[in-house]
Structure 1
Amino acid sequence: MSDRHSPSRREILAGAAALTAAAPALLHAATPDAPSLKGRTVLITGASSGFGRVGALHYARLGAKVIATMRGVPRPEAESLAAEAAKDKLDLHIVEIDVTSDASVTSGAAKALELADGRIDTLVNNAGIGITGPVEVQDMEATRLIFETNVLGIQRMLRALLPQMRAAKSGQVFNISSQLGRVIVPGGGHYSATKFAVEALSEQLAYELVPHGIEVTIIQPGGYPTRVWQNRNIYTGALKGRSDAALLAAYEPFTKGMGTEDGSGRSADPADVPRAIAEIMAMPAGSRPLRRAVHPGAKPQEAINKVAAEVQLAWLGGSPLGPLIKAVHD
C-alpha cells in the first residue's frame, strides 16, 4: 500500500483541479473520536431503523446536513426520528423513498436535491432486506423482492444521484454489503446472492468513477442486533406460509426455523457501522478504502478481500485499465 502522506494514484488521476474544486468538507482530515462532517450533505436510504436510523443521527450530530429516507412516510419511525433530531437541533430532513420504485426514487431524489440546494456529496445505500430458507424454496415473489431491494434499489439511487456528483467532480458512495457478500451460509436464501452482486457492482463502479473524482466504499458488517431480524421474519414467515409442505420437508434442517430467528446472542453495537462510515467520510480524498469490514468479532471476509485485490492488480494492473485498478487498490 502507498504512503498515505503521499498523493495517491486516485488523486493524480482526478487531477489537482478536481481536488481544488471539491467541497471543503471532502478534504477534512479524520480524527479517531469525532470527525467533523460540517459542510457535507449525506443522503441515506433505509433510515427507519438499524444502521440507517443510527447513522442519520450520528452524521447530523457530527455537523452534516442529513437527508434520511424511508418508504411509507408518514410512519411512526419517521415521526420519532424527526422528534429526536428536533430535540437536538440537528440539520436532518426526512424524505420518502422506496428504493424498489422507479417513481419513488425519482421524486424523492428530486426533493432531496432541492433540500440540499442541488448538491448531495455523500450517498449511503443502506436499505436492504433478508429472506431466509433454501434456494429451491425461494419462490419468484421472494426472489424478485430481495433483488429489487438489495441490488436494483442501489442501481436506482446511483442513477438518480451520480449525475450531480459527476458535475461536481467529487463525491462519495457507501454501499452496505455484509460478511455474507463474500462468504456463504447454507439456508440463507438469496441474501448472499444479492450481497455478492452489491460487491461486484460497487467495485466496478469504483474503477469507473476514478476519472470523475468520486470514491466508492463497500461496508461489510457482521451480525448486529438490529430490527433486520424481525423484518426478515415477516418476509420469511410469509414465504414459508405459501410454500409446499413437501418442499419444506425436503430441506427440513434449513426450513424448520424459518420465520422464527430473533438475532439473540448478538450484542455488538450497531453504531459501529455509522462510526466507521463517518471516519471514512472524513478521510482525505484519494485515501479512502474500497472495503471496510466492521464487527468486533470474526471477519472471515478479510482474507477474500485481500486475495481479490491482489488478483485484480495482477490481472489488470499492467493493462490499459491498470491506472484505474491501481487508483482503487493502492
Structure 2
Amino acid sequence: MPNPSALLDPKLIYLEPSVLGYERGREILARFPDAERVEVKSHTRIPQLYGDSASAEDWLRLKREVLVLGVKKGLQMRPNGRSADFIAPSSSNGCAMACSYCYVPRRKGYANPISLFVNVEQVAAAIRKHAEATGPKAEPNQVDPHAWVYDLGENGDLSVDALVSDNVRDLVTAFRGIPHSKGSFATKFVNRDLLDYDPQGRTRVRFSLMPAEMAKVVDVRTSPMGERIRAINDFVEAGYEVHVNFSPVVVHEGWQVEWRRLFREIDDVLTPAAKAQIKCEVIMLTHNERLHDLNMSWHPKAENFLWRPDLQEDKVSQNGMTNVRYRHGWKRQWLDQLLGWIGEAMPYCGVRYAF
C-alpha cells in the first residue's frame, strides 16, 4: 500500500470493543501501533468529536489524525435508481478529504473522520444474498443495461479507505463472483493500488470531475483534476468500468468557459477503449445553510461560490432537509447548456441522469 500519511496519519483511534474480535480490526490496529486507542460504545456516538474538539479550526487536523473502527450493524439494501439500483451497506463512512460542499460531515460532528467497519465479509455476504434473491435484471434501465448495480461508498471515498485496509480489495474480489451484479463507487482520489485488484468488469468506478479552477477552491485535499482524468484510461485498462460524475456544477461568473474547456480536455485525454465504455452523471450544486455557516468559519472563500442567494431558492430534499438549489427556471437552462456541450465535445458519452 502507498504511505497514507499525506492524507492520513492516525494518532488517535476510537474503536468499539468488538473490533478486536475481527481479523480486519487487528490488521488495521497493527498498521498504526503508536496510535492512542480509546474504546467507545458505538462508532456513531463519540462525544469527543463534537463541541470544542470539533471546531472549524480543528476540522482538517481531526480528519488526518483520527480514525474510527466499528462493526456495521445494519446490512439492509436500499433502492436508489440514480447512481445505482441499490445502496449497499457501507464498509465505511466519513472521509479524509474535505470538499466544502459535502453533505456527509454532519454524521460525526462536522470533522467526520473516516470510520472503517471491520466485518466486511458480512457486508459482502449480505450483498450476495440480496443479489441471488433478486435474480437477473429483466429490463435495462439508466443505471445499467444488464447488471444490478450496488453503490458501495455512499458516505465516503473507497479509494482513500483502501490506504488503510483491504476492505475495498475484498469487495472488488467479491463482485467477481456475485451473480448479475456490479459494485460501484465514486471517488476524487487516485489510488493506483486499485489497479491490481483484477475487477474483471464487475466494479464501476465513477471519477468525480469539475473544472480545475473551481476544484482548487472547493475540492479540498483531493487528487488534482488532471490526474483524475488521466487515471480513467489506466482504470479501464485494469478491468474496471469507468464512468464520470460532473458534480457538483457550481454556477459563477465564467463557469461556462471552464466547463467547455474541461469537456475538451477529457476528449483529448481518453483512449478509444475508455471512450467506448464511458457514461456520465450531471449534478447541479445543492447546498444548505448549516453547512454554509460552518464553512464561513474555516473556508469562507468557497462560500463566495457556493452560497449565492441571488441565484438560489429553498428546496426540501428527500430526507426532509431544507437545502438551497439554483432557481428552477435558470437551473433547467444551465443544465440544458451543459448537456449540449457534452454532446458536442464527447458525443460518445451517454448521460445516465442529470438533475
Same fold, TM-score > 0.5, yes or no: no
Tell me which protein shows more strand as a share of its residues.
Answer: 2
| Alignment TM-score, normalising by the size of structure 2 | 0.36
| Alignment TM-score, normalising by the size of structure 1 | 0.38
Tell me which protein shows more helix as a share of its residues.
Answer: 1
